Structure 1
Amino acid sequence: MSDDHASGLSFGTLAAAVLDDQGRVRWCSRAAADLVGRSTGAVRGRPVRELLAEMPARPGGAAADQAGPSREIRPATGRARLRHSSGDTVDVTFQAMPMPDGLLVLAAPTRDVTEREQGVSVLHALFSQDRVGIAVQDADLTIARTNVTPTMFGGPAVPPGTRLLEVMDTEDARALEIALRQVLATGAPLVGWQRWMHSPLLGGREFAFSLSAFRMEDALGRPAGVLSAFSDTTEQQLARRHLDLLHEATARIGGSLDVRRTAQELAERDDLDIDDGQRRLMNTLAECGRPGQPLHDTDRAIRTDLGGRPPRDDIALLLARTRALPAESTASWELPADPAAVADAREKAARQLAVWGLDELSFITELVVSELVTNAIRYAGAPIVLRLIRGDVLVCEVSDPSNTHPRLRRAHSNDEGGRGLFLIAQLTSRWGSRYGRRGKTIWAEQPLAAPAAPAA
């Protein structure tokens, strides 16, 4: 056992004894006597060999010499087995240091030493990495140690002695302090605490972070501080905001983009009835929406036809050029909300790809089908519809009756699930969702291989 590890032990569990040059115990601490289940008076004066269940081994494996001054406790560091008064043995790790007329021996139960060494290794691993911020705060929530460097969050390093109010705005600091004091008071860990915050160290820039905190205790089990792990989640939160905005826009716009409502708005502008407005719109579309006509020209013509008066409400008009596909280019199946249907869905998709001569897309398509159908069964229920569309690209769609917005996230290494949409996003060229009156559809695209060039 090294000096660093020995000094890291709690003084409450560290046993000490002084041996004379004949190997007798001249003095021992209360902790040393407890290791062998005896009083200090019963231990003092005994030859140390009587307290050993077996002699300590030298580094080469041979037993220590039994002759000479205090040879029973050589080598200077190692492990030994003590004989307890109950008849049991106690495995200890020791360090022996020479004195003018004997040895000073420090020892502790090997289990405690191993636990402390593991703790030191864990702390070293945490504080030496720069992907996750680590902070140790004392019982007053003053930062005692942290691994935060200028390269981690774009601000200066945080020195020991720093308070929360020095690294974040007052409102944010108070909110975090309340959460951490709850950890200190109850011992219940804080896991995945999310918050947007401002920091004076970053010029007032707003950023998002996720924090988990755990109470630290001293050798007597009393609260000693808080260990926190935190990471910058600004990019993930901005992406989530964007997806939520798209979801909200889809929900609001999807129910109002129809010709009749747009025509009604046109009629209101010019004090016309709905039929006149609808005819006016249809005439403009018929005149400007010819094949090959750019859609932006059609849009310009419709807006010109609206006149110069401001609308009474927002108008949204969606123009899209559709292209009919032959019936043999699509295939769909209705599936039950039964986990057994997942394998059946994969087989149906693989067979259809073989019919279309797209066997090379089978592996990724089966994975997409498996993930989307599994999610639909787990979170939505029947009816579930699987559809494959072969056009310029291969589209795989799964529809279900739920309106729950799918979220793309990274699963942790110990999570059993949560990787579905992430895998789909990595393996396909595009993916997305759309919403209807009876639920949602999640789709994913794969490019079709370009046809081989004819031989020269």
Structure 2
Amino acid sequence: MNASASRSSRRAASHTALATAVLGSEGTILRWSRAATELLGRTSEEVCGHLVWELFADALAYPWGNVRRRSLFPGTGQARLRHRSGSTVEVVFHALALEGGEYVVLAAPSHLVADEGDAWSLGGLFRQGRIVVCVHDTDLNIARADATLRTFTGTPWPVGALRDILSPEEVEATEAALRQVLDTGVPLVGRPGRLRWPLPPGRRRTMSLSAFQLENASGHPTGVATVFTDISEQERIRRHLALRHAAAERIGASLDVNRTAQDLAEILVTSLGDLAWVVLADAVFEGDEPPKLVGGGRWHMRRAAVASASGTWPSRLLPPLAEYPPLPDGPIMQHLQRGKAVTGHRTEHPMFHIPELEPLFIPEHGHSFMSSPLYARGLVLGLVVVWRTEKPDAFDDVDSGVLTEIASRAALSVDNARRYTHERRAAIALQRHLLPQATTSTTAADTVGLYQPAGGGAEIGGDWFDVIHLPSLRVALVVGDVIGHGLHATATMGRLRTAVQTLADLDLDPTELLTHLDGLVQRLATETTDAQDSIGGTCLYAVYDPTSGRCTMASAGHPPPVCVQPGGTARLLGLSPGPPLGVGGMPFESATITLEPGSVLALYTDGLVQGVDIDIDTGTRRLVSSLAAHCRSGHSLNDAGRDVFSLLGDAPPRDDVTLLLARTRVLSTDDTAHWEFPADPAVVAKARGAIADRLSAWGLDDLAFTTELIVSELVTNAIRYAGGPVGLRLIREDRLICEVTDPSTTQPRLRRARWTDEGGRGLFLVAQLTTRWGSRYGRYGKTIWTEQPINRGTAT
């Protein structure tokens, strides 16, 4: 058995063995408790009516003196009593004189009350100055009370019902507890209660109630002896300890400035006061350091959090988030600016008797206030103010010390939240600047990108999306997620997004692009010296061609996209994901699907489908259902995206969330033309003729000359250097696109021919006659493409 268990058992034993007896004025035993019977082995029939000193083993050794003396016993003492068996029992006793000249004697074995740390032991009980002993009859009315009570309360203890001394809410439960003691004889020890009378008006004290059954000479219960012990100060200390514990546990649990302020206000209400509010400097809300305060004037603060014991904030007081008006200067304001707490009465408040400020700062029934600055690193981040409106006691120095301690802890938490807000705002600003335009509209698709950074104390991650316009009206859709959080992840995201744009400009196949991106991530990982700044991530890259309605995509460890058909049917696209970026050693696989016009392709990061309370499979099914409901034909993509984001609920996400929606279009067959020619120089003239006829049918005769020249140069080069067959395609949209396809994979190069060269000027002419040109590689060759503006008069 450990020391704690030993003390607990001894304490329980002392409570049970606390014997009680009521003596007459001459020392005759009138009543005897069951605990006294257990202590000495003598029943009430055996002792009632006998003189008490007959029980003492050394009666002659105790200087009791003349029995007619008014003070029969000393207040506290030790004695050796005779057990019925003949043995001796050493006890500690305490005698209290009642108003009628009788005595109540409490006694317990000496060895059970020797523990100095036992607050409920008899020795500790006797040493306290605020003790009241009463004798109750069988109706539980107070028959007699301690005659020395007047020194405690200043007024006589009332003789009558319990409701005269107890708070109304305590009467019923206390009577039931005393009735149980009277009926069963089992003592009641240490029951707390609120005492009302005869204490000074407006004040109540917490009392500990112990009760013991009394018996007469026949062994019948004749009443209950009660001992009221004032534990108001202990109760106050206990409340303050509980308040400190709650503050240490709750304040600082969030890195949100407003949440931290609200936690502080709510902890103080009911525990310390009836109303509380917290004000913070405007700069703190933005994550910046507040300016130093000097004197009165405008402090540039706002009421960040409020709390009321009633649950309703008084309408006359300054409401939450309201800005502080200019404040007067004075000693209290200067104390707060120097980081010191202040307490005072209502009339001592700086706003008292200032008509325009008093209703905003002083509650209607507030009588005592206390305020402490949130002081950290020499700066006043804000103030915490507590008022008492219902609690009758005024604040004192002990309360001020508790508030100062809690405010000091809260100031550090607010400062940590402020610094986190500062870094988070910087990271979010960087993240948003690195992301593309949220909404785009092209011939290929309408797109909407949505991004929500992590919240609830989590740092932002490296999620990103991108919409890249490719030649021949195609569009690349990209979504990625970088490992890690914070500025490092954001910076890595920016590097990978730039790399994807560069690789996309080379018009690479999705699998080849991811292979190059994977190699880049591996190189970046070798350059990282900090083990915490690991490099890696996932990425999904898709290319959509509006001329064919086909979409080719590949994944590097990323969740598969969702396709919503115009009718509202949604399905998860079957895609074999390769390894995440940075793993290396494994190939990536692409998949090609044909999308109906008006289909919605949804690309997302795992923060949308995975959370603390939901697994990724359940989240994915929920996402597919939500997309089916909100991405039907005719619904705005912006509205659909916001509705899908509602899956996250009101709680801030623990990871970044990114969603990219693309509603596809298909180019009309009337806006495209395609021919295929053999590798014969004679077909160049046929190609020019076909081009002229098509441009004439489209009403673009002004572009015929330059387009024929471009086609002539490209087809001639293809026949001369690559062989056949040679494909030729025209695409009409907001610009004219010309494509020539050949079976060669040789990279065309632009060079400046010398005046003596017979060739080498073809691509130079093409570059001069077009706004853009380039080449891309397919499975069986390459395609050289050019773009010309369709605006009339600009082609020549």
**What's the TM-score once normalised by structure 2's chain length?**
0.22
Larger radius of gyration: 2
Greater percentage in helix: 1
**What's the TM-score once normalised by structure 1's chain length?**
0.35
